[in-house]
Amino acid sequence: MSTASRPLTRMHWLVPAVLLAAGTAALWSGDLDRRVARAFYSPTDPTHWPQGYEQPWAFLYRWGVFPAIGVAAAGLLLLAWSLGRKKRDANAQFLRRSGLTIVLGLALGPLLLVNGVLHETWGRPRPRQVVEFAGSQAFRAVLQPRWDPSAQSFPTGHAAAGYGLFVVYFALRQARPRLAWLGLATALVLGSVTAWARIAQGGHWLSDGLWSAGIVWFAAWLIARALERRPAKLPPNNRDDSPSGTFRTWGAAACGSGALILCAAYLAFLPLMERMDREIALPPGANEVQIEWSGPPAEVHLLSASGTVARITTTLSGRGAPWVGLADHWEPQAGPDGSVRGQYSISVSGHRLSQNLELWIAAPADVRVMLRHKPQG
Rounded CA-CA distance 192/27 in Å is 16
| First-to-final CA distance of the chain | 64
pLDDT at 258: 78
pLDDT attached to residue 243: 44
Phi/psi at 114 (nearest 5 deg)? -75, -60
Q: What does the pLDDT read at residue 88?
A: 58
Tell me if 326 sits within 8 A of 298, measured CB to CB.
Answer: no
Nearest to 98, CA basis, from 77, 117, 115, 68: 77
Q: In what order do the strands lie in the sheet with 325-333?
A: 325-333, 339-349, 288-294, 368-374
**Separation of alpha carbons 322 and 270, rounded Å:** 7
Query: What is the model's pLDDT at position 248?
Result: 63
pLDDT at 245: 59
Question: Could you tell me whether strands 309-320 and 270-281 are parallel, antiparallel, or unpaired per DSSP bridges?
Answer: antiparallel
CA-CA distance, 298 to 318, in Å (whole number)?
13
State the amino acid at position 1 in one-letter form. Answer: M
How many alpha carbons fall within 13 Å on the CB side of residue 84? 11
Q: What is the β-pairing status of strands 288-294 and 270-281?
A: unpaired
The one-digit pLDDT tens for each residue of the chain (377 residues) are 444 557 899 999 999 999 999 999 999 999 999 999 999 999 999 999 999 999 999 999 999 999 999 999 999 988 888 877 665 567 778 888 999 999 999 999 999 999 999 999 999 999 999 999 999 999 999 999 999 989 999 999 999 999 999 999 999 998 899 999 999 999 999 999 999 999 999 999 999 999 999 999 999 999 999 998 765 554 555 444 444 556 666 677 777 787 778 777 788 889 999 999 999 988 888 889 999 989 998 999 999 888 888 999 999 999 999 899 999 999 988 777 778 999 999 999 998 999 999 999 999 988 999 998 887 65
Which of 172, 155, 193 lies closest to 71 in space, CA to CA?
172
The residue among 265, 371, 376, 254 whose CA lies nearest residue 312 is: 371
| Alpha helices in the chain, H assignment, sequence order | 11-30, 32-38, 57-63, 66-83, 90-106, 119-121, 157-163, 166-172, 177-200, 206-229, 243-267
CA distance 105 to 166: 9
From the CA atom positions of the chain, what is the Rg in Å?
26
Q: Do 195 and 230 meet the contact criterion of CB atoms below 8 Å apart? A: no
Classify residue 264 by burial, with Cβ atoms within 10 Å: 0-12, 13-18, 19+: exposed
What span, in angstroms and rounded, lies between the C-alpha atoms of 50 and 202? Answer: 9
| Largest interatomic CA distance in the chain | 95
The answer for residues whose C-beta is within 8 angstroms of residue 267's C-beta and 6 or more apart is 321, 322
